Structure 1
Amino acid sequence: MAEEVSFTIGSPRGSRTVTVSYRRAGSGDPLLLLHGIGHHRQAWDPVFDLLAAERDVIAVDLPGFGESPALPEGVSYDLRSVVPTLGALCEELGVERPHVAGNSLGGLLALELGREKLVRSVTALSPAGFWTQAERRYAFATLTAMRRGAKLLPLPVIERLSRSAAGRAALTSTIYARPGRRSPEAVVAETLALREATGFDETLAAGVQVRFTDDVPGIPVTVAWGSKDRLLLRRQGIRAKHTLPGARLVRLTDCGHVPMNDDPALVARVILDTSR
């Protein structure tokens, strides 16, 4: 069951209240899970219970995505705002320096949290920020087209497509290597999450100039990339390794951009190994 927490952050216009929806379960060291742009916390459902067997797992809907409301007026969606907001969330939840795993946008945020020394380990799955400008334009154009399609398709059509493997592939093959494994209910929910994400446009705009260029020394870092990632191509993992020379680079065989669904056991093992 989802829970909700509200807390105060600073902004150029003074204090503002942010509300975040999350799911928390398990015991052990805390582990924060961050999804990608246009997605929601349910992206982590295939690995959630595997992780919760060893960790106090907190899967969040980032502000403006899933069930979390948009950031307050005057608060931007750039890294300078979102990273401190996640730090404030952890403080509100009584979590000090959790382990963190993130996918895509969430992977970039995880690395930024590591750079700011707000977490004790980082697992970044196909993180954003290691692209060339051409690769970024391709990824953003693809995401924009996915969002447009999600907005144009009536709900009955989305539901009908989700009932067949071919239909699920049509809706989600950009992010999954094995879209047929996703349940019809999950495909409908994530298509609606993409359509209704209030933070999508501002997050995408904030990412135009983003490049991750700093090392994250002093903590364990793993960068893992799906061998069949069609959104952020796997060669970006090599750039990530050059930027983060102390990081472990892992190839996720036969996995797409959102690998948690393609191979839950492998992804859970990578995250737990890093957090050990």
Structure 2
Amino acid sequence: MVSTMGTEHGVRYREQGEAVGGTYLMVHGLGGSLEQWSEIVRLLGAGARAIAVDVPGFGRTRTVTGAFSVDESARAIVRLCAEKDVRDGVLVSHSVGCVLAARVAALAPDRFRRLVFVSGALVRASEMAQHPTRALRAPMLGLTVATQFVAGLFPVPRPVLNALARVKPLRRLLLRPFVAAPDSLDGGLLVETLTGTGSPAVLRVLFTAKGIPYDDILRAVTQPVDLITGDRDPLIRDQDRVLVRELVRVEGDAVIRRCGHWPWLEHPAELAALIAESARHDR
């Protein structure tokens, strides 16, 4: 199946498959790019239409100034959905990307029937980003949140990615905060999915986090939500999966074993199968 690339309304995207099997729209997490969904696009695009986007300000659309706005980015993605005639879609997001996805879903409720939050039940982590002094109560979580922001800020040079793919000790050192088993990662997929990461827009998110109405944005979602979480995700505990139910209507709650915060890299086949299963709930 041929994968096509393009840019519409300032949003870079990759598309594969036919809409006759339904449409998946995928939004990456903080500091990520559409490349993180590469294998998921290939797997889902075999039987449906899969579209991954660069959130404006990230990936190849990043700018030197780090300009970023949740509302403006959401509206740009909604315009892309109109251009692509997305209907009856499933909106899939990763990590902090769930906030942007929730805003997209609220702006275009007629285009999406369900949301999937992958590693997205970040209630305590989001509160900590908005109120950094809370890290004193949970220092390990605070350190992990800080690591996520720092890692998302800097583009990773290709030679470093190639070294990560080849050298397991380096992988253990640098990727342990994000994955459960660095040694077992596919080196080629690692390079592919981490290409395009890093953006100064991460600083803008950090500095404006207190002003982002996280709870209100999620409460505005009218569609059902499914959660997919790694059992070794350092950012998410059972408490978070309970708390997120106070904000959105959670219908599915799947856990991937031996998995950290990046299931699209650690267990892509299982993740794609769970997303496809989620899409079948309303059929």
Q: Name the CA shift for 1:66/1:239 in 2 (closer, same or farther; >3 Å).
A: same
Residue type at the aligned position of 1:199: A
Higher mean Cα deviation, 256-265 or 23-32? Answer: 256-265
- The structural deviation recorded for 1:175 is 1.8
76, 100, 103: which is aligned to 1:85?
76
Runs of 4+ with deviation above 6 angstroms: none
Partner Cα distance (1:26, 1:190) in 2: 20
Any residues of structure 2 matched to 1:12-27 within 5 Å, and which?
Answer: 18=10, 20-27=11-18
SS in 1 for 2:124: coil
**Which residue does the alignment assign to 1:219?**
223
- Normalized per residue, which structure has more helix? 2
Q: Deviations over 1:127-146 (max 9, x none)?
A: 26522633764254112332
Q: Deviations over 1:98-129 (max 9, x none)?
A: 22101012222222333331422100112265
**Which residue does the alignment assign to 1:267?**
271
**Which residue does the alignment assign to 2:97?**
106
Is 2:36–2:192's contact at 8 Å kept on the other side of the alignment?
no
**Which residue does the alignment assign to 2:136?**
none
- The structural deviation recorded for 1:215 is 3.7
Q: Name the CA shift for 1:128/1:4 in 2 (closer, same or farther; >3 Å).
A: farther
Any residues of structure 2 matched to 1:96-245 within 5 Å, and which?
Answer: 96=87, 98-116=89-107, 117=109, 118-127=111-120, 130-131=123-124, 133-134=127-128, 137=132, 138=142, 139-147=144-152, 150=154, 156=159, 159-188=162-191, 193-195=196-198, 197-210=199-212, 211-213=214-216, 214-215=218-219, 218-245=222-249
Q: Deviations over 1:7-44 (max 9, x none)?
A: 2xxxxxxxxxx2x2221111221110111111111212
SS in 2 for 1:67: helix
Q: Name the CA shift for 1:135/1:82 in 2 (closer, same or farther; >3 Å).
A: closer
Provide the TM-score with structure 1 as the length reference: 0.79
Task: Provide the alpha-carbon RMSD of the alignment.
Answer: 3.1
Partner Cα distance (2:12, 2:6) in 1: 4
Is 2:224–2:249's contact at 8 Å kept on the other side of the alignment?
no
Q: Unaligned stretches of 5+ in structure 1?
A: 8-17
- The structural deviation recorded for 1:191 is 5.4
SS in 1 for 2:228: strand
Q: Unaligned stretches of 5+ in structure 2?
A: 133-141
How many residue pairs align between the two structures? 260
Provide the TM-score with structure 2 as the length reference: 0.77
- The structural deviation recorded for 1:212 is 2.5
Partner Cα distance (2:89, 2:145) in 1: 30
Q: Name the CA shift for 1:217/1:29 in 2 (closer, same or farther; >3 Å).
A: same
Residue type at the aligned position of 2:69: D
**Which residue does the alignment assign to 1:15?**
none
SS in 2 for 1:267: helix
